[in-house]
Amino acid sequence: MSTYKEIVGKKIKSLSSDPSDSADGQMWYNTTTQKLRALATSETTHSGTPMINKRSLYGFGVGTSTAGLVVGGIDDSTYLSVVEEWNGSGWAAGGAYPTARYSAGSAGTQTAAIAYCGRISPSPGPGSPTETYNYDGSSWTSGNSFPTGNNSCQGIGAVNTAVVSTQAYDSTAMHHWNGTSWTSANARNTAKGGQAAFGTQTAAILAGGYPSESNITEVYDGTNWTSGNTMNTGRNQIAGSGTQTDGLAFGGDKPPTEAAQTTIESWDGTSWATSPATLSTARSRSGAGRNTTSGTWIAGGIGPGGGGEGFDSVEIYTKSTNITTAAAWASGGTVPYTSRQNMSFGTQTAAIACGGYVSSTLDTSVSYNGTSYSSTPTLNVAARMGGVAGTQTAGIQFGGIQPPGTYNTNVQSWNGSAWSNNPYNLSTGTYGLMGCGTQTAALKVGGENPGGGNYTTSEEYDGEGWTAGGALPEAKYVAAGNGVQTSAIITGGSPSGTTTFEYNGSSWTAGGALATSRPGTQAGSAGATSDSNIVFGGGPALAVTEGYDGTSWSTRPSLATGRGSTNGNGIATAGLMVSGGPPSGTTTNTEEFTGETTSANIKTFSSS
């Protein structure tokens, strides 16, 4: 029997700890654990951030694992024109499609795509559209029309090269797109619709399809179609991704009951194999990132119940030496007191929560260690909806409302064991403001003034007093935000619930708009700088979470319990939401957000 050295050309290394840069198949002996170990490739699926809109896509999806695009679709009887873009973490609104439709053909990437034909009424008939539109990453422009109006077309390739079927299931005709116009190509062998489609104009695969239970595979070389080895499970309305020599087929319907499937099959250029990974949700008529196999998204579709109602759930397929754990919210410790309009600062595992409101303004203060809360000395002055900054051992609280309803000018300092009155009070009482930074470099932004108007002002604290900072482009009240004095963000709030502004230490500039408006009652926020933040909750009782990358907002997994009138702290990948409630009502709930993580897929083998 051959030895490992004879096969690989190297001896098995002895190491005291597992290496961080191992290659697939590499083996080593861990002298600490006394185990023979190796890094292995695995195929897995995990949940992704849901789309903004529920939809059945009928195969419409393009792009990669970190830059995808879905267009149109249908949710029950509602035809959609909305476009969503995937950035690897979440979804953001793209440029709207000119007309609502589903079952359109598509090809390309997130910033260079085409879409054409489709269905714009419950019955396709002779009135099916023929338009072709080009997408540049922000808007659509009209191109030369498809020869005949059709739906359930399959696009394969880039914006300047696409091969498509002309009809859902009753035609074998094919057409090429050259970036400007369509021309006829050689017919395929079998008239099918709802197939898995992937590859390029000169190296394409079509597999499965309807009518009937189909497991056929057709291979295209740019000129002719030939039959390939059949799929293991015949089905239709399948999502596909990859290349002619490395492809994937996800889910689909299995006749005669049209039951949605969880099966994933992989294509190696010659034959199909059933993947050990399966979809957690049976689905057909889904969209997928077409241009990748090592990792791709599968979005929306119709579930096991059938019918026309779409859903928004997303799954991520990976084939990697890493194991991915999806981003998610989880329950944290229970706060010892119920409240809303509270304030919190610190990190997910070392935080202070203080103040708030039940039937009156509170002076309560508690400490959080990442598992449970413990009581700490009370605020010297009760407060709610004020600003906070700092860490669990060095913090500051400023402004808000104190009993019986006075707009607070007080500043209070926290040293890790007690609160003290800070001599550098605010010049004007402020309520519903945003605060962030550290105990000696804090930032106070916006809020409502005693006269009832909203501030555009920001003020900077250096440990020895407050000085004027840059003015906001618009007044903001009960807005969310976080960061540090030289790199902060403020977003949502009243009067406009979607605008975002970024601070560089001297001036504010407009950033990307929130996808979900959050006016009225304050949302929570976590983030270390202006280009890495999450915002969650908000009025009246939202569960939606969005993440910011310095340019645009996109969705993240939602809170388990929607709420507003709250506050958050931590960083974008480790955030904390404490208490809160709708406009009325209070909670003691804490939720903790953990961003997506990866770890090496290390296997232990017997050394005997």
Following DSSP, what letter does each residue of 369-421 receive, concatenated? -SS-EEEEPPPSS--BS-EEEEETTEEEEE-SEETTTEEP--EEEE-SS-EEE
pLDDT at 464: 96
- Neighbouring residues of 173: CB distance < 8 A, sequence distance ≥ 6: 165, 166, 167, 184, 187
**44-326 and 331-594 agree in CATH topology:** yes
Cβ–Cβ under 8 Å, residues 535 and 549: no
| Domain ranges for the chain | 4-40, 44-326, 331-594
**Cα–Cα–Cα angle for 427, 431, 432, rounded to 5 degrees:** 135
According to DSSP, residue 278 is labeled -
Nearest to 405 by CA among 338, 341, 459: 341
Count CB atoms within 10 A of the CB of residue 273: 11
DSSP assignment of 291-331 equals: T-SSEEEEE--B-TT-SS--B--EEEEEEESEEEE--EEEE
Say which DSSP state 516 is in: S
d(CA 34, CA 186): 62
Q: Using an 8 Å Cβ cutoff, are 525 and 480 in contact? A: yes
CB of 352 closer than 8 Å to CB of 374: no
Architecture of domain 44-326: 6 Propeller (2.120)
Cis preceding-peptide flag for 540 (omega within 30 of 0): yes
Nearest of 423, 169, 198, 412 to residue 296 by alpha carbon:
198
pLDDT of residue 125: 45
Cβ partners under 8 Å of residue 125, min gap 6 = none
**pLDDT score, position 126:** 45
- The reported pLDDT for the residue numbered 370 is 97
Beta pairing, strands 13-15 & 27-30: parallel
The secondary element (H helix, E strand) that includes residue 486 is none
Q: Which two tokens stand for residue 465?
A: 């007093």
pLDDT of residue 520: 82
Q: Tally DSSP H helices, then E strands, for the chain.
A: 1, 60
Beta bridge partners, 261, equal none
Q: What is the pTM of this model?
A: 0.87
Closest-CA residue to 83 (of 65, 107, 101): 101
pLDDT of residue 21: 59
- Residue 221 has phi, psi (to 5 degrees) of -110, 15
Helix (H) or strand (E) holding 531: none
The tally of CA atoms less than 13 A away on the side-chain side of residue 166 is 20
Measured CA angle at 468 (ends 465, 474), to 5 deg: 140
Q: How high is the pLDDT of residue 600? A: 78
Q: Which residues of the chain fall below pLDDT 50?
A: 6, 124-126, 607-608
**The amino acid at 562:** G
Per the omega criterion (within 30 degrees of 0), is the bond before 256 cis? yes
Q: How far is Cα 225 from Cα 72, in angstroms, rounded to an integer?
A: 30
Q: Please state, in angstroms and rounded to a whole number, the distance separating the CA atoms of residues 524 and 340.
A: 12
Neighbours of 335 (CB within 10 A): 24
pLDDT of res. 475: 95
Long-range pairs for 265-269: beta carbons < 8 A, 24 or more residues apart: 265/231, 265/232, 265/233, 266/43, 266/293, 267/205, 267/207, 267/217, 267/242, 269/244, 269/245
- When computed from its CA atoms, the radius of gyration of the chain, rounded to whole angstroms, is 28
pLDDT at residue number 41: 79
Cα–Cα distance, 588 to 565 (Å, whole number): 13
Instruction: Tell me which of 3.30.870.10, 2.120.10.80, 3.40.50.300, 2.20.70.10 is the CATH number of domain 331-594.
Output: 2.120.10.80
What's the rounded Cα separation, in Å, for the pair 202 and 428? 70
Q: Which long-range contacts (CB under 8 A, 24 or more apart) does 253-258 make?
A: 253/194, 253/210, 253/284, 254/213, 255/210, 255/212, 255/213, 256/213, 258/284, 258/306
